[in-house]
Chains A and B, each alone.
Chain A
Amino acid sequence: MIASMDLSSINPVVLAAALMVAATPILLAAIGELVVEKAGVLNLGVEGMMITGAVTGFAFAVATGNPYLGMLAAVAGGAGLALIFALLTQYLMANQVATGLALTLFGLGFSALLGQGYSGVSPPRTPRMDFGPLADIPVLGPILFRHDPLVYVSLIIVAAVWWFLRYSRAGRILRAVGENHDAAHALGYRVRLVRVAAIAFGGACAGLGGAYLSLIRVPQWTEGMTAGAGWIALALVVFAAWRPWRALLGAYLFGGIVTLQLTLQAAGWRIPVEYLAMAPYLVTIVVLVIMSSGRARRTLSAPGSLGRPFHAAG
């Protein structure tokens, strides 16, 4: 456990292993949002979908005694909330920014309501993956091969999204819809349907990311436990320049900062805990600034229709 370390005993192997765990929830949320934005939709409700996933996952896992059923419930919870967003923005033409905010405000309240009576409850444990002898390789074993299944699932999702966007026909259609929805519509692609599917996928990933927090990382339910992770995931998509592998890199860099910050806290660093706890948010802001300014900006490839409403005229 990181919590019982002092500064002299900071162990790079433990740090690297903890980094992957710290990164996984935002990685999941970010890869989902990346697909949504690739389809040309900006869903600012990631935080709300994450916390909804955190609570539905927790409640189901506790009720059934099975963490995997909980994770499925989290996927359903996140996707369900996302479908409200899809209905409002794609069919009722509501403003995407405002609807995303509404999703977050609603999700925070809804999760607090559902989560009543769960504080202090321990969820069923998620067993670690058993890689047999691989886990005993020095250094690499503890870093890479002793995690819970979701860490690997998140990596598989990243790879799958990369393949999907790059090589599959459906992925190309999704990108076309995101780059220029009028042209895609003229070509006969069903813009709204593609977007609804992308939004639901984004919600499912965010929900799973939330469940990772409540079932594995913490593991406990507390009100508002996502603490801005959804917003950081949104920033991560910008950092990643809408590329899946860069989202992975960004998430792990970010996980490193969080882990280091927690380690310093535990080691009794002289800076008060509250200031150290600002680090993740400040780092995210600095990264956003670097990515959006100057030369870096030219390499950004924001989808052309991002955030613009689509209404087939005539």
Chain B
Amino acid sequence: MLRLERRPQPSRTWVWAAPVLAVVLTMLAGGVLFAALGKDPVAAIRLIFWDPLFSQQFAAFSRPQLLVKAAPLILIAIGLAIGFRANIWNIGAEGQYIIGALCAAAVALAFFPAGPVDARFLGLEFTMDSAPSRWWLFPLMIAAGAAGGFVWAMIPAILKTRFNTNEILVSLLLVYVAEKLLAAAALGWLRNPEGAGFPGSRNLSRFPEAANLELIPNTGMHWGVVAAIIAVIFGYILLHRHMLGFQVQLAGQAPRAARFAGVAPARLVIFCLGLSGLMAGMAGMFEVTGPARMITIDFNAGYGFVAIIVAFLGRLHPVGIVLAGFLMALTYIGGELAQFTLGLPSAAIQVFQGMLLFFLLALDMLSNYRIRLTAREVTP
């Protein structure tokens, strides 16, 4: 008879082997799924995991996309992981991401050059000769995005600390509110006045001071990637080299001990939710000014939710999150490729990502428990 025996300490081997095995199992199960959809499973898996990086035909386009897609996932996941370690569940990062993007776009559009600066008749895309350079605008937008995400996350944080309201439900419900706000903005107060009545804001990529452009051509490197790198380093120092990280860990594993050790639970809730909201808001800012280019009704691509998978897959560890972020980015890019070339439905990738989390959670058992084969127990 199989019996589970709790390990005194999680197995270090399995903690890191579980995600690798989970990916392999997901590929197998995904293959079955793709076959069931009438697609060649080997070709589909190859298209998702290999071709974006190494195929002659696609890699030139796909490789830069890897950074573009991984950066927001990593940036959000780092913030979430810190909270998850302390058993503080911010699952509304998607909402904080949207609000961050809205705030940043609002700041940018408030400073949109008033006069007609269209110089296309001169053969130029854009000129800004008359106005003095406004170098401060972009940093201001980053601050606005971070503040937006922070404030949105403060709602569940304060409700949790003041009224003991469940932060999981509140942060999640606020995603729907944020989505409605996004729709209201795209149709109303942020709509492009020269957009012929179509929903959506002005195109921020045509506004050089506010645009988050590629820093090195054809690499996908933009300011969001820089922010993600800083976040990873910051997260590592905080979690592994700083007292606060120890407190976070302690609060998650032994809340009573943490209280005796002088960790104020309320302050920790504010800190964890605030930090993850701030990071999600910044991710939204870099996205709307960069790859997304403008506010549209559905500009959010679910990064806030997929980042939850990234955080778990990366073992709530900054280095793991980087690897997991690239892997999930790959499934996005490969999924798009498979959509174009094989006609694989985009929802199949969502299923794929969900399955990955299932397998991971199942295999995690192996890091916390030992499977023992025992003779059938006799009840004393």
Contacts and interface: CB of A to CB of B under 8 A. Distances in A.
Given A106-B351, A278-B180, A228 B305 contact: no
Given A113-B347, A288-B165, A289-B159, A278 B177 contact: yes
A112 B176 contact: no
A105 B169 contact: no
Nearest to B364: A94
A109 B361 CA distance: 18
B163 A102 contact: no
Given A113-B351, A235-B173, A93 B365 contact: yes
Interface stretch (A2-10, A58-66, A269-277): A269-277
Contacts of B4: 93, 311
Contacts of A238: 166, 169
B319 interface: no
B345 interface: yes
A101 interface: yes
Contact of A92 (B180, B181, B365): B365
Contact of A106 (B162, B172, B187, B358): B358
**Chain A contact surface mostly:** helix
Interface string A82-125: 00100110001111011101100111111011001000000000
B147 to A, nearest CB: 21
A285 interface: yes
Contacts of A99: 358, 361
B166 A274 contact: no
A223 B166 CA distance: 28
B346 to A, nearest CB: 8
A281 interface: yes
Given A99-B361, A105-B309, A272 B173 contact: no
Interface string B187-230: 11000000000000000000000000000000000000000000
Given A228-B173, A282-B177, A105 B305 contact: yes
Interface in A248-269: none
Contact of A285 (B37, B173, B350, B365): B173
Contact of A44 (B168, B176, B345, B351): B168
Interface in B324-380: 345-355, 357-358, 361-362, 364-365, 368-369
A108 B361 contact: no
B180 A101 contact: no
A180 interface: no
B351 A274 contact: no
B170 interface: yes
Question: For chain B, what secondary structure do more than half of its interface residues adopt (helix, strand, loop), or is it mixed?
Answer: helix
B43 to A, nearest CB: 19
B354 A97 contact: no
Contact of B164 (A107, A109, A232, A292): A292
B312 interface: yes
B17 to A, nearest CB: 16
Contact of B350 (A44, A101, A105, A234): A105
Contact of A102 (B37, B164, B350, B358): B358
Contacts of A186: none
A275 B188 CA distance: 11
Nearest to B159: A289
Interface of B: 4, 6, 37, 89, 91, 159, 162-166, 168-170, 172-177, 180-181, 183-184, 187-188, 305, 308-309, 312, 345-355, 357-358, 361-362, 364-365, 368-369
20 contacts: A88-B358, A97-B89, A98-B312, A102-B309, A102-B358, A105-B309, A109-B352, A109-B353, A112-B346, A113-B348, A228-B173, A272-B187, A274-B184, A274-B187, A278-B181, A285-B165, A288-B159, A288-B170, A289-B163, A293-B163
